[in-house]
Structure formats: structure tokens, C-alpha cells
């Protein structure tokens, strides 16, 4: 029996949805690789990647195959039971990283919630109830639950919801002296994104992460890396911590890990994981067979020398062309980021106008992102074809030229 599909249009959003989003004027209906088609049949090049989620583009055969095969077997059994895809995927994550143990959930916020709860639980169990303070970075983003939005360093997202979770301090990113001044023996965790995503695609400096690791060791605190946006090959390494050679105690992963299927994970060591004993934390859907089957297919494709080397090569293609566009039209002061997470910082004359670049790009048939009001962000598929990069950037340049009145 087929379900009758009622025709819908963009205007319906304003009638039936909670108005916490303001989506673009068109509705994408189909994707293939790095191309997307809307309701009218218009084709766009996708450099947004579902906000760094569609790590292998749209309808990748390996992911479609894994999902379809699993959909015909088993969808959900809950964590009262375990399942084969979850165990296979967890083993692959453990084999590929510093971690010994994996907790599966459904979103970056849930992965970070689990990470922060684990950090506080470890400190509580080992050092008592007074060691619960968390130090995080200004302009960081860690999710939208009350705990994660409180740890995130952007008041515009956390204000207005009543009392915030206490014991959280925010310091400037990449400022080691400020971090040293904030960390004490009451600190249970330092929480950092190796590359600040929503805060403007800003990579951490090596000395900063090394210093954070040392401070945590000195104060019996845990180093938590939020790799929700930077992980799963996005940086050109499976996880960005590998680029820096600085190993966290806890790592959160989401977005790319499911290739478009809602999926997330918290990774940690055996020693720390034991503090989440039976009943201490949980989730209904986390680790479900559908998500884990897709996640396993993602890591099988992404964690290969060919794909990871390709990410670094494609970064250079993007960076060279974007810097040229920035100079020619006077719009970008810097092109920064790692791998296929790239931020174009707007010049003073264009400050606050990232949304205008987003809109102009869409008009020319290319999907890009913002990272705050001052940065245009690119987070395409890791296997985006060079021809799509060229075509998409041609379209983007046309959009910039129009904006600049050339």
C-alpha cells in the first residue's frame, strides 16, 4: 500500500512548523552526489553538505545499500537487547581511534550531553561533589539542550531559558593564558572544538591544544573534544585530534558519522567508561540497527587513504579559488579551516553580510552556508568531484560578482 502524497510548498512551512527556522525559499526534493534538484527541477551544486553531515554526498550507493539491506532485516530492538550493526560499528571506531568504549546516540547535542555528564560523574566518583566545574571557549557551540547550550559560549543561544547550569566558565579560544587562569582543582573538564565550527570555522593552534592537555593532566581534569563538525574525515584525518597529535579523554562525534542518517557517538577510554554503569545514562534510539548499519558503511568508505588524501587535495582546490575570488572582489580577508570545512572571513566592508552571500549563491545555483554573520562556510561532500568543485565555484563567483556590483 502506498501512502498518498499531498502536494506541499514552501509557504506551508509558515503554517505548520514552529517558527524557529527560516529555511530558503526553495524545497530540495532529490540529490545525487553533490547535485540537488528542487521542486521546479532546478539543479544546484551542494557545498553545504547538510551542514557538514552529507559526508559522501547524496544517495551514495554504499549508504543506500547498507540502509536498504538493514531495513529489510531489523529496525529497532532497544538497548534491552544489542544488535550486530552496533557491535560491528563500535569495533571499527575503537580500532580506528584512541577509544576503548563507545556510546551511541542520535545527535551532537546528545553526544556532548553524554560527554559532559560522564566528565562530571568521573570527578564526582573520584574526587567528590565539589569538582564539577567545566571550562569552555567563547563562541563555541555544543548543542541545544540546556546543559550543552550552557557549555556553548554563545549567549544568544543560551539566554532566556531560566537559570543556567552552574559551574561553567568561558574563556577566549586559542588563548592559553586565559585557559591557565580558569582551570583549577575544581575543574572536571576542559571542553574544546579542535576547529570551532559555528563560531566561524576557526582551527585551534597546536600549542593551545597541547597546553590544554597539560593543564588537564595537572589538575585531574578531563579533556573533551567536540568533533561533531570536524570529525569523520572532514579535516583530512578521520578525526581532527589526529592532525594535532593531541589525544582527548572523551570525544563526541555526530553530523558526518551517519552520512545523513541521524547518528552520533561518544568515544572514551575503558577506565572512564566504567563510571557510566548500568542505568546511569541511556537513550531509546541510540545504537539502533539502521543508524549503525549506515555508520559502518560511512567509516568503511571514509577511513581509507584515498578518500582522506582526496580531502586534502580538494581543500587546496577550494582554497586557491576562494582566495582568488576574495582578492578580486575585495570580499574575503582570509580563507581558513581544514580539509573540507572551510570558512571565508568577510572583509570589514562586508562584515555582517554572510546571509547575503548565502542568498546570492542560491540564486546562482550553489548551496553554501554561514558560520555566524561574518563568515561564509563550505562543508561539501568529502568525495565531491573536481568538476563539481569547479562548476560550483564558477557559480559562486558569479554570485559574488553580482553582490559586488561588477
pLDDT for 3: 72
| pLDDT at residue 2 tops 80 | no
pLDDT for 1: 61
What's the CA gap between 240 and 390, in Å, rounded?
26
The yes-or-no answer to whether 10-59+308-403 and 74-302 have a common fold is no
For residues 383-400, average pLDDT = 98
Model confidence at 252, pLDDT cuts 50, 70, 90, reads very high
Question: Nearest 5°: phi and psi at 196?
Answer: -65, 120
- Going from N- to C-terminal start, the domains of the chain cover 10-59+308-403, 74-302
Tens-digit pLDDT profile for residues 336-361: 999 999 999 999 999 999 999 999 99
Tens-digit pLDDT profile for residues 128-144: 999 999 999 999 999 99
pLDDT for 119: 98
Domain 74-302 sits in CATH at: 3.40.640.10
pLDDT for 406: 81
Tens-digit pLDDT profile for residues 155-170: 999 999 999 999 999 9
Rounded to 5°, the CA angle 105-112-31 comes to: 60
DSSP labels for 43-80?
EEEE-SHHHHT-TT-BS-HHHHHHHHHHHTT-S---TT
What percent of the chain stands above pLDDT 70?
100
Which residues have a Cβ under 8 Å from the Cβ of 82 and sit 6 or more positions away? 287
Tens-digit pLDDT profile for residues 291-340: 999 999 999 999 999 999 999 999 999 999 999 999 999 999 999 999 99
Model confidence at 181, pLDDT cuts 50, 70, 90, reads very high
Tens-digit pLDDT profile for residues 96-138: 999 999 999 999 999 999 999 999 999 999 999 999 999 999 9
Question: Which class is domain 10-59+308-403?
Answer: alpha beta
pLDDT for 133: 98
pLDDT for 336: 98
What's the CA gap between 120 and 131, in Å, rounded?
8
pLDDT for 189: 98
CB 392 within 8 A of CB 45: yes
What's the CA gap between 169 and 183, in Å, rounded?
9
CB 349 within 8 A of CB 330: yes
Burial 55-69 (b: 16+ CB within 10 A, else e): bbbbebeebeebbee
Amino acid at each position: 500500500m502506498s501512502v498518498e502524497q499531498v502536494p506541499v510548498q514552501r509557504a506551508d512551512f509558515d503554517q505548520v512548523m514552529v517558527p524557529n527556522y527560516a529555511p530558503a525559499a526553495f524545497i530540495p526534493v532529490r540529490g545525487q552526489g553533490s547535485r540537488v534538484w528542487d521542486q521546479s527541477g532546478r539543479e544546484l551544486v551542494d557545498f553545504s553538505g547538510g551542514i557538514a553531515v552529507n559526508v559522501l554526498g547524496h544517495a551514495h550507493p554504499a549508504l543506500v545499500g547498507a540502509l536498504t539491506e538493514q531495513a529489510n532485516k531489523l529496525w529497532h530492538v532497544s538497548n534491552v537487547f544489542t544488535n550486530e550493526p552496533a557491535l560491528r560499528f563500535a569495533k571499527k571506531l575503537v580500532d580506528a581511534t584512541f577509544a576503548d568504549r563507545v556510546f551511541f546516540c542520535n545527535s551532537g547535542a546528545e553526544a556532548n550531553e553524554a560527554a559532559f555528564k560522564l566528565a562530571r560523574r568521573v570527578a564526582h566518583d573520584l574526587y567528590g561533589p565539589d569538582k564539577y566545574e567545566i571550562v569552555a571557549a567563547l563562541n563555541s557551540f555544543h548543542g541545544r539542550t540546556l546543559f550543552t547550550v550552557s557549555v556553548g559560549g554563545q549567549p544568544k543561544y543560551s539566554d532566556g531559558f531560566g537559570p543556567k547550569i552552574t559551574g561553567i566558565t568561558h574563556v577566549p579560544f586559542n588563548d592559553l593564558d586565559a585557559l591557565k587562569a580558569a582551570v583549577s582543582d575544581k575543574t572536571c573538564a576542559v571542553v574544546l572544538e579542535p576547529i570551532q565550527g559555528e563560531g566561524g570555522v576557526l582551527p585551534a593552534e597546536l600549542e593551545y591544544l597541547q597546553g590544554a592537555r597539560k593543564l588537564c593532566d595537572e589538575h585531574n581534569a578531563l579533556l573533551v573534544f567536540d568533533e561533531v563538525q570536524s570529525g569523520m574525515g572532514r579535516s583530512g584525518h578521520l578525526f581532527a585530534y589526529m592532525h594535532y597529535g593531541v589525544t582527548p579523554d572523551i570525544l563526541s562525534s555526530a553530523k558526518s558519522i551517519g552520512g545523513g542518517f541521524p547518528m552520533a557517538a561518544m568515544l572514551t577510554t575503558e577506565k572512564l567508561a566504567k563510571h557510566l554503569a548500568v542505568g546511569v545514562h541511556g537513550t531509546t534510539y541510540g545504537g539502533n540497527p539502521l543508524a549503525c548499519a549506515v555508520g559502518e558503511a560511512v567509516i568503511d568508505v571514509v577511513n581509507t587513504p584515498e578518500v582522506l588524501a582526496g580531502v586534502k587535495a580538494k581543500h587546496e582546490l577550494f582554497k586557491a579559488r576562494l582566495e582568488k575570488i576574495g582578492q578580486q572582489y575585495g570580499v574575503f580577508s582570509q580563507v581558513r579551516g581544514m580539509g573540507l570545512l572551510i570558512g571565508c572571513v568577510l572583509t570589514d566592508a562586508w562584515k555582517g553580510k554572510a546571509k547575503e552571500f548565502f542568498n546570492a549563491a542560491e540564486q546562482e545555483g550553489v548551496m553554501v552556508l554561514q558560520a555566524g554573520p561574518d563568515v561564509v562556510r563550505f562543508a561539501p561532500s568529502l568525495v565531491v568531484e573536481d568538476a563539481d568543485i569547479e562548476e560550483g565555484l564558477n557559480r559562486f563567483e558569479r554570485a559574488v560578482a553580482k553582490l559586488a556590483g561588477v
